Amino acid sequence: MSLKNVRDRNDSNQMRDLLNHAPSSGPQEPGDLPRGENSKPPPKGSAAEEESDRDKEEKKGGEEGERRGEPMREREERTREREEWTREREERTREREEPTREREEPRREREERTREREEWTREREERTREREEPRREREEPTREREDPRREMEDPTREREEPRREREEPTREREERTREREEPTREREERTREREERTREREEPTREREERTREREEPMEVGVSPSGGAVWLGEELALMRRGLEYREDPGELQFGPRHTVLINLLDFKKDKKLRPQPGSNLWNSDHVKMPNSTRNTFNKQGMFGSDEKLRWDLIKKKLSKLSNVTKSETIEEVIKSYNVNYKTEWKFDALHKYFETEEPKRELFRVVKAMAELALKLPDICPKAIPLLKQGTSHSLTLSQEQISCLLANAFFCTFPHRNSTHPRAEYSNYPDINFNRLFGESSKRKQQKLKTIFQYFRSVTEEPPQGLVTFERRSLAGRCDWKRCDSKISKLHITSMGTIEKDGTGMLQVDFACAMVGGGVLGSGLIQEEIRFLTHTELIVSRLFTEKLGDCDALCITGPQCYSEYSGYSDTYSWDGPHTDTTDRDRWMRRCTKIVAIDAIKFKNEQQQFEMKNVDRELNKAYCGFKPRVQAQCYLPVATGNWGCGAFNGDIKLKALIQIMAASKASRDIVYFTFGNEELVQEIWDMHNFLQKQHFTVGKLYSVLETYCERKRSCSAGDLYDFIYHSYADLKSKH
């Protein structure tokens, strides 16, 4: 063996020993070898060199992987962003599709019904197949017998094959025709579905029309001994009335068009009716109060005149009534602070009342309590009371105790500047409020009036009422276009029995008013309005602050209480004793009694009322009173009667139509009292029934009235109702 071979063998053995004895601990890179004095690189082609190269490639590949990992993370982030954006887009799509889903619900219901029908059809087909199974089994032998015959028929089929091939294009054309006809069938199905839905919607309409037909057939519920109808139309019990139909006034609160004379904080806290603090105002926009520091008079003395407060004098004189024993004392007290009228005012009616009324001791006790109540004015009514002027819409709410205090002062004639009747006097456009006219010129009417008024003061001094009353002046902003009004004619109950105030409970009750509200209640007048102001005595206080009503004004009073029973009318009026009012109260502690005062035109010549300007005026006046204050689904019916047809010379038939038209425009039904006129019940009902059956609107009826008024000027028109009947018949014959 040569020396070279020995040396190579030693080198390989030495390398093997190093590999076998390499340390296994310590941080080493893959493929590294321990470095020492005798360390050498592995020979080329050896196993160690291959392992070292593999480790280097793996390290290089790892570095390249790290470099490639960075774009991968960016791609993943972009992928996540795209997924988030996709989710947001899907959410927006879902939101947009929700209305579509809602619209598709009826379609789904139709599809479900279609599926149900298809399932039912399948079940029926399956049952049919089940029934046919035995028949097929019975037919099998027959088919087997027919097989040889079919084999004989095969040549015939082969001859028929070319004919079928010729018929194939024809079948394809027929199939294409069927495909074109399918959209048409689908449209027809949709049309049928729409027609079904239309029929379903029309079902309630048909039911309402049937009920309307039933209502249009008049039903008499009793006749009088003379054979006339007692009432016709809707049953009174079915007319909208009661708590569920009362118009909600909302929360009681101050406002630019609402003055409240009680403390709202106390009212909302514990329903206590304490006065609202304030001060009197001596100007043309407010009531001039007796206790104002501006209410003075000049007292003559040794060294000239001295200005004194009139309220101090009133307090001194009214204090004398604490021991009153005769009516002459009342006269002396009233004249002591009304010196200018000392010789003009008479007290005959008052003295006669005290002479005939028993027991006198109890009567004088009431007078003493009234004087004490009047003197509480500065404490009970400290806040200024606004005047409800023409052309304005404003409300005034005050307590029943405040009203009683104001009326006690009116009885003792303490209100300044309210006694003159001169046309240029400061309050010439307001009704009188002091009671001096009631005390003079004794009559049977005034004796009954004094009985009614003293019953009120007896009630409020013994047990002061705890409630509120609201006086609302309404004014139309503009005239109505009646010719274009498309409101339908409202329902009607008409009766010859009963009265507005007793049988119109729970309704909007019409006061046939004078322009000066209250009319002759403090004088000799004693018809519908005066009787209402006497029995519901709190209404009289409206004369203190309500200016004369204009052509488009009305006064609505909510919450007055009834204190007296009565019978008769005008000269036959009689006070029949006290009345206990049990009417419910609303959220504002007001009695649920609602009265609207509307004044009709007083015609000297009856022909004037058939001028359209006067018809328009009456329509606007009635609508101003009937128009609801707030929007609601339904409103109280109007309880009314022969408005403006007595001393005002109105035509009953025309006034009835005017009120029906105004109530219809205001969406209110009508309860009409004819006050014993049975013939009128039938006439008005026949006309109302005719108007409803012929589908008259308010505008259409207005046009007929225009034609009638034109004919009336030339005296070529007869009865109003006959004209309406004939006009419609002529119009129908032309068309």
Phi and psi at residue 179, to the nearest 5°: -65, -40
The closest of 584, 557, 580, 626 to 398, measured between CA atoms, is 557
Element (H, E) at 113: helix 47-216
| The residue count for the chain | 735
Which of 530, 538, 553, 586 is labelled catalytic? 530
Query: Do 581 and 561 touch, CB atoms closer than 8 A?
Result: yes
Q: Please count the other Cβ atoms lying within 10 Å of the Cβ belonging to residue 725.
A: 14
Known catalytic membership, residue 511: yes
Q: Is 529 a catalytic residue?
A: yes
Q: What are the angstrom distances between the C-alpha of 628 and each of 234, 486, 579, 633, 713? A: 22, 18, 30, 11, 35
Q: What share of the chain is helix, strand, coil (3-state, %, to 5)?
A: 55, 10, 35
Nearest to 370 by CA among 326, 428, 324: 324
Amino acid at 337: Y
Q: Please choose, from the candidates 343, 346, 345, 350, the residue with its C-alpha nearest in 3D space to the C-alpha of residue 327.
A: 350
Say which of 401, 432, 501, 511 is annotated catalytic. Answer: 511
Q: Is 247 left (phi over 0), alpha (psi -120 to 50) or beta?
A: beta
| 300 three-class SS | strand
Q: How far apart are CA 211 and CA 234, in angstroms?
A: 12
698-713 and 612-626 helices cross at what angle (nearest 10)? 150
Whose CA is closest to 541, among 437, 406, 430? 406
Rounded to whole angstroms, the Cα distance separating 660 from 490 reads 7
Q: Is 64 a catalytic residue?
A: no
Which of 590, 545, 542, 538 is closest to 267 using CA atoms? 590
- Residue 495 β-bridge partners: 231, 673
Active site residues: 511, 529-530
